[in-house]
Amino acid sequence: MSRENLDKLFERGILALVLAILVFAPLALGAVNAWAFVVVQGLAMGVMALWGLRLWLVPKTRLLWPPLCWVVLAFAVYAVIRYLTADIEYVARQEMIRVLVYAVLFLAVVNNLYRQESVHSIGFTMIFLATGIAGYAMFQFFTHSSHVWWFISPYSGRASGTYISPNDLAGFLEMLLPLALAFLVAGRLHPLMRVFVGYAALVIGAGLAVTFSRGGWVAAALGVFAVLLTLASRRQHRMAALLILALITGAGGFAGQYYLKSNYDIVHKEPTVINGRVDLNTRWDMWMAAADMWRDHFWFGVGPAHYNWRFREYRDEHVQNQPGWAHNDYLNLLAEWGATGGMIVLAGMTLFAAGFSQTWKHVQRGESSAGGKGMSNRFAFFTGACGGLLALAAHSFIDFNLHIPANAILGVTLLALVGTNLRFATDRYWAAPPPALKAAMTAVAAAGILYLGWQGWRRDREAHWLRLADSPRLMLLERAALLRNAFAVEPKNGQTAYDIGEALRMQSFAGDQDYAAQATNAMRWFRKAIALDHYDGYAFLRIGMCLDWLGEQDQSGLFYRQAELLDPNGYYMVANIGWHYLQIGDDAAACQWFKRSLRLQTADNVIASTYLDLTRKKMMRIAAGKVSAIFAQ
């Protein structure tokens, strides 16, 4: 086999693996679950292996290293450093691995998939994948189905395609709708292919509409309008771009006025969806919590993926659920990575803007030389991908698309492919790596493959045991045994240690003969959870409850006070502190805690409502007894 054919074989192998990641991740619920990301991780390891082999077996291989590569490399190094200093090792490690996988994919795409054949393969594959997913979303909407594969989506009346959340689907489609429209108007396509792309754009737009994601609508509109107005500024594309713009505006207005509005009103009356003003207020509270975290940890943030775990300490009284993320990727970045991470990303955005201005005239030159009609796939992809990235950047102000692996990987891939166009402006970013650099890159790749493989195996085994332990048919001690297996595989997961302790505590509270031993064992696991995550107020709370249960009220107060400090505005925490005061005989104080818990959350607050009623009845009986005693005298 000639070296040229070998080079093409490596390129096609890397392209196949990247396409497998790009297709698999959206179909696997966005790759948000552990097992799905392990698959992505394994495919990324394959990309690293093929790239490493290509460096040595194809002697004339060159590196393409535009300035954005330095930013990606800097953030990857910072992620490793920040992981090593993080408070909660387990969650920081998982986030670091995601960052490393994204960095590997970015660098691999830039250096291996810059040819137009690869760019077109990725672009059209993603457009037609989005068409299929959008079609599935329309099926869900018109059949009133809440099924996503064999899972159930909690978002009644809103389509989510192959994602659980409709907002995540909107984040995926908003990146590809501008790309499809750019190819439709400016791409050099066979007439039949142009018909298919036009149909794809129509279906993607309809799929986006039935997500009822307001942020997705606005972001997609921004990306689409930017692309169409850019195309309209070109004489060759003006009529087609303005016609499509008019059709989109008219169709959007008609659908919004006569169909989507009525369905939108129905959807947003569903109790499963936080909406309207409540949604805005809730997001504002999440943003303020992120801002407070950044203020308290200005330079380096609270830690990778720590926002959700530190949220209880910072939350406002109005937010009682765990948000996961700040619903603003920029504030989330500052809260978790600090000003240092923010400056690295800002540098990347600045370099991207500079590269865009430097590349734009050369991309247009390719269009001008495309046979007189101005049809150019390079120009179409560049314009459409930039529109998709603009939509993603806009949506990130009010959502967390960059924390959905499928969407983040698509964004990283589009960014990498756009960045490769800088090679048309200058040759100075090309370099032939010397043997020493090849050896260093190979060593890093080999170490990365070994580390990611080891971590992927552990993650997969842990997820297996956790999935078995999640069965509702299990008895408490059976569940604890399965959780111990998970903890043996991954002894740094504080949540698993807490869950083991909670199963043992509940078994102890059943009042069996060995209740004291079970409670003591539970406290041992709660202390392990605290050692792994000392921001978990519930672990302190459960130790206090076990001490109350064992009659050691003189020691339990300290743990309740620490639990309150870590979650001062959580209705569940407040209700359980009220339970503590009930155990020590301070009924008046217990009533105050139960009342505050009900003020924080009235609905489904069983502990506070039940115990408040019982405590009031108890106090009335005591008061009635005292009155009877007075009259008896």
Per-residue model confidence as pLDDT tens digits over 418-477: 999 999 888 899 998 999 999 999 999 999 999 999 999 999 999 999 999 999 999 999
250: confidence class by pLDDT, cuts 50, 70, 90: confident
236: confidence class by pLDDT, cuts 50, 70, 90: confident
C-alpha 587/C-alpha 585 separation (Å) is 6
Percent of the chain whose predicted confidence (pLDDT) is above 90: 79
Model confidence pLDDT, tens digit, residues 354-400: 999 999 888 876 555 555 566 789 999 999 999 999 999 999 999 99
264: confidence class by pLDDT, cuts 50, 70, 90: low
C-alpha 88/C-alpha 337 separation (Å) is 14
Q: What is the pLDDT of residue 545?
A: 97
Q: What is the pLDDT of residue 430?
A: 92
CA distances from 423 to 66, 316, 430, 576 (A): 8, 50, 8, 62
Model confidence pLDDT, tens digit, residues 554-588: 999 999 999 999 999 999 999 999 999 999 999 99
CA distances from 290 to 293, 303, 325, 342 (A): 5, 12, 9, 13
Q: What is the pLDDT of residue 272?
A: 40
User: Comparing 55-64, 117-126, 192-201, 334-343, which segment has the lowest mean pLDDT?
Assistant: 55-64
Q: What is the pLDDT of residue 278?
A: 39
Q: How many CA atoms lie within 13 A of 494 on its CB side?
A: 23
262: confidence class by pLDDT, cuts 50, 70, 90: low
Q: What is the pLDDT of residue 184?
A: 95
The pLDDT mean for the chain works out to: 92
Residue, of 622 and 236, whose pLDDT is higher: 236
For range 33-59, the mean pLDDT: 94
Q: CA end-to-end span of the chain, whole Å?
A: 111
